[in-house]
Structure 1
Amino acid sequence: MTTAQSLPVNVKILELITRAVNILLPLHAVALLLFLVCLPFTGLAIIPKAFSATTLLLIMTLMMLTFSAIADESTPGVSRGQRVMRRVVLVAQGLTPLLAGLAVWALWLRIADYGWTVERVYAAMIALIAVTGSLLLSGFQRRAGVQGAVSMNTFIPLMLTLTAFSWFLLHTPVADPWRITVKNQLARFAEGRAKVDEGDLYLFSNAGRRGKQALQEISRHPQWLSDPARQKAVLVRLLAERDTNNANPTISDLQRSIPLRAGSEAPPESWWQMQTQYIEQEAGICLVDTGSCLVWMQDMNNDGTPEVLLYNRNQQSITLYAHQATGWNQIGSVTLSERLEQALRDKIPETVVKPWRDLEVNGQRLPVQYYGFEGQ
């Protein structure tokens, strides 16, 4: 298909879009004016709680800017009704800066209460575009009057330039959303204006290098946590996940971080080597929170060969490792309560023979799962 053949189709599409916008612009102008008229009596409570006030106000502002840039107002109205609607649109365009200002005010209230987040940095940049665009639109319309369509030839390039510049700023240290968010939230925690919740921890875990630094700072100030007993384990786990993805610990690193139970035989070098080669989340947690873990050897099946037991305070668990034909493997685990930690560290646990037995048929053991009986 040649360019000459495709041009009429493109023109028809543009005409269709323009006609649709010519209908939507007056409707949007009426809705905007009704909203502003009701605002002094209802305040922002007129906006349903399910919607963000900032988001709704910005959408209304950007819709007015977009419709005004696309609409064809060069043809004078042929009826009184069309002339009236033209005036309504001009009034709404003149009041658009007020709508953008309300969006900035609503956003600032959220920031003052809850601090900066990545989403609010983006919202602030969009609000800057909305305020600037609404002021430009208002100025163009005042100067051009009914020749607004002509003034749009300058308005559109200015808005595109402003949008491109804003996008560029978001990718520089000046307006980097993560830098602003991390710095602001840490300051709020340090000043006591907010406590760290689990949402904050997961937010920082996705914030790259700055997020890792924030998690490390929080780990040095456990008083910032809203629920230290529960969130400390989450914090250590998130730090461990980041460290195990970026580091290759040595045997010496593990042995310094995981103390050996007094009086116990040290695990073989092959077990430590396995932990360094296939660094698991559990060992990673032990590396991050030095001294929180404890390792010892204990014979769990009376075969004369002791297994390795690794206690992890942050996971409240004991993991059992046995050396098999394929090497060291996890063979079991125990979940225990926090109140048992001191007793566990003071004395090696005793083993208990299970009173309920398995079955054997023709030399093959058949494990029985007993219901409602402890110590099976």
Structure 2
Amino acid sequence: MSKAERSWIIAWAALQGIGLWLLHEWLLSLPGTGPYLSVIWPLYAGVIILPSTLMLLSKYRQDKYLWIMVTGFTLLISAAASYTGYQAWVVDLPLHRTGQAGFLLGAMAFISWFVLLPFAEHQLSQGNWCSNYSLLFASAWRNCVKLALAAVFTGVFWILLFLLAGLFKVLNVALFMDLFTSRIFAYPVTAIVFGIGISLYAAKEEALVGIYRASLNILGWLLPMVSFILILFLLALPFQGLTLLWKTGYATSLILVLLACTIFLFNAAWQDASGEQRFPRWLLRFIGIGLLAMPVYIALCAYSLGLRVSQYGWTVDRVWAALVVVLAAIYALGYAWVVLKRQAVWMAGVRQVNILAALSVVVLLLLTLTPVLDPVRLSVNSQVARLMSGKLAAYDFDFEYLRLNGKRYGNAVLQQLSKNTIHPDAVLIQQKAEAALTVEYRTFTSSEGKEHQLTQEQLFKQWRPYPRGTELDAEFVDYLLDNPSVRPTCSEAEPCPVLSVDLDGDGRNEWIMLMSYIGKIYSIENGRWSLAGSLYGDGIYNLMENRFPAQAAILTRPARWKELWIGDVRLYSNDN
């Protein structure tokens, strides 16, 4: 790297640090940051994206197309940041409610920026966007290593600074600690050191390229194992059925993680197909069978997600899950198509699939920062549509979700619902909408109200008494009906084991309700049922989810170690 290029990087790093410092000082001068998020977030986007891009593409600093591309992308992200900031801020809600939106904005912007960087470099060096896949591959990994090393370099630098400050503070010299923690020092110095870390990459580029290539080669040897998992699980499904799969509640997540591992490990092994594949031919065919199984997993995920959406409508999580499924489908269908083509160079067509998938990632992520695919807008509209159509009863509708999690969309809908006159339960909807518009934090009144509607018969279906044949005490059930705050969360699909046992030796049985990792003890005190305490044990989880041994003996045993009381201090052993 030439001296001029290194100076260019450090200069832009300094400007970035100064810009971040000025923005921070401006924020401190504002009476409140919430109303200005639609301006603040775009400014931060510009100060971070523009200098960072110019530093990583410093080699092409004389090319006018660099400025066109950087300016265009910065304006695009700034516009998305303005929209996100505007939607995130709701009057009368705490500012921390905007934190999740800010994090997602940063994550989506960074991923899009990182994915597009190799294409920009390809355009600047080759005059087109994606004709040389090896160049795209090398550029992506080079940027990854650059950013990682620069971050480590900056982190170690600050560790040394605080070591210096700490040593002098021991000597009652606070000058260094005060200097290093001042904003006017921290922002510019951090940015400059990060820029220096980027510029140092060129000095050891060949060695670093060899390291990440070797790392990918090692990881690539796990591809046969993940292919084996893909095939084995698929073969086991017909014998076990899909019922067990859907019953877990997280099968779709596990499948998507498996597909993500497959995609990553395949690309670690395949890389850019510039060298000979190190797997024998029979193993390549086995891997190909595993890749052919991927579309089946996509179908399972799509079916599972479709069922949830048809039953309960769209939520923010389901919108994100759908986007992940779409992206995974591009890889899965693309890789399966390449396997079926049986090209002379193994999986050569993956180049086009990876390019399409990368660009699809950018398009979908950026659309989530617009009204087109805003997950919050889609979820709010879906849930309100279910309410208005009668699919969801007004009493069961979570109005506070619109207020606290629906951003500006949700609060606008609440305003409309507070004036609704056409719904059969219009009066109830108006009352709940007006009440929700006044809250700043969850009150849980909606969930408690919903629980109070449960009948004894419904609660009986959520519990499984032991020993077998034991009947639940009607007064105990009434107590739990009247006190939902002390009632464990159970369901008909996953009932909780309830044990009738005399724990304190008074001749009267207590009720113990087991949950995932704890048991609740209920006993009669002064003629009334109450929550008496809790039970803990490493094996409680194994008794849940219908694994409770029906014929197991239920006994009480005296504790090995008695309690020790020293005055009013109670000491007890957990090793009983």
Q: Same fold (TM over 0.5)?
A: yes
Contact 1:117 1:181 in 2 (8 A): yes
Contact 1:129 1:162 in 2 (8 A): yes
Aligned with 2:213 (options 14, 26, 35): 14
Structure 1: segments with no counterpart, 5+ residues: 243-376
Aligned with 1:207 (options 397, 401, 406): 406
Aligned with 1:3 (options 202, 211, 214): 202
Q: Equivalent residue for 1:340?
A: none
Q: Equivalent residue for 2:276?
A: 75
Q: Equivalent residue for 1:195?
A: 393
Q: Equivalent residue for 1:139?
A: 337
The answer as to 2:221 corresponding to 1:23 is yes
Amino acid paired to 2:336: S
Aligned with 1:99 (options 277, 297, 310): 297
Aligned pairs for 1:40-119 within 5 A:
40-47=238-245, 49-72=247-270, 75-76=276-277, 82-119=280-317
- 1:90 match: secondary structure: helix
Rounded Cα–Cα distance in structure 2 between residues aligned with 1:187 and 1:51: 25
Contact 2:230 2:290 in 1 (8 A): yes
**Root mean square deviation, CA, Å:** 3.0
Amino acid paired to 2:226: H
Rounded Cα–Cα distance in structure 2 between residues aligned with 1:63 and 1:43: 24
Output one character per residue of 1:226-276: Cα deviation in whole Å (capped at 9) or x when no partner: xx6xx987643431257xxxxxxxxxxxxxxxxxxxxxxxxxxxxxxxxxx
Q: 1:51 to 1:146 in 2, by over 3 A?
A: farther
CA drift of 1:138 comes to 1.3
- 1:173 match: secondary structure: coil
Output one character per residue of 1:331-375: Cα deviation in whole Å (capped at 9) or x when no partner: xxxxxxxxxxxxxxxxxxxxxxxxxxxxxxxxxxxxxxxxxxxxx
Output one character per residue of 1:28-48: Cα deviation in whole Å (capped at 9) or x when no partner: 111111111112222333438
Contact 1:190 1:224 in 2 (8 A): no
Output one character per residue of 1:287-317: Cα deviation in whole Å (capped at 9) or x when no partner: xxxxxxxxxxxxxxxxxxxxxxxxxxxxxxx
CA drift of 1:49 comes to 4.5
Rounded Cα–Cα distance in structure 2 between residues aligned with 1:203 and 1:14: 47
Rounded Cα–Cα distance in structure 1 between residues aligned with 2:249 and 2:345: 36
Rounded Cα–Cα distance in structure 1 between residues aligned with 2:341 and 2:208: 35
Rounded Cα–Cα distance in structure 1 between residues aligned with 2:425 and 2:259: 39
CA drift of 1:223 comes to 6.0
Q: Equivalent residue for 2:415?
A: 216
What is the TM-score normalised by the length of structure 1?
A: 0.55
CA drift of 1:197 comes to 6.1
Rounded Cα–Cα distance in structure 1 between residues aligned with 2:316 and 2:258: 22
Q: Equivalent residue for 2:322?
A: 124
| Greater relative contact order, per chain length (Cα 8 Å cut-off, separation 6+) | 2
Q: 1:33 to 1:2 in 2, by over 3 A?
A: closer
Which one has a bigger Cα radius of gyration? 1
Aligned length: 235
Rounded Cα–Cα distance in structure 2 between residues aligned with 1:9 and 1:77: 22
CA drift of 1:118 comes to 0.9
CA drift of 1:50 comes to 4.6
Rounded Cα–Cα distance in structure 2 between residues aligned with 1:134 and 1:32: 12
The answer as to 2:372 corresponding to 1:167 is no
Contact 2:371 2:377 in 1 (8 A): yes
CA drift of 1:146 comes to 6.8
Output one character per residue of 1:34-71: Cα deviation in whole Å (capped at 9) or x when no partner: 11111222233343845523222222223222222221
Q: Equivalent residue for 1:352?
A: none
CA drift of 1:134 comes to 1.1
Percent identity between the two aligned chains:
25
CA drift of 1:199 comes to 7.4
Rounded Cα–Cα distance in structure 1 between residues aligned with 2:214 and 2:334: 25
Q: 1:86 to 1:180 in 2, by over 3 A?
A: same
Rounded Cα–Cα distance in structure 1 between residues aligned with 2:253 and 2:360: 20
Rounded Cα–Cα distance in structure 2 between residues aligned with 1:97 and 1:123: 16
Q: 1:96 to 1:2 in 2, by over 3 A?
A: closer
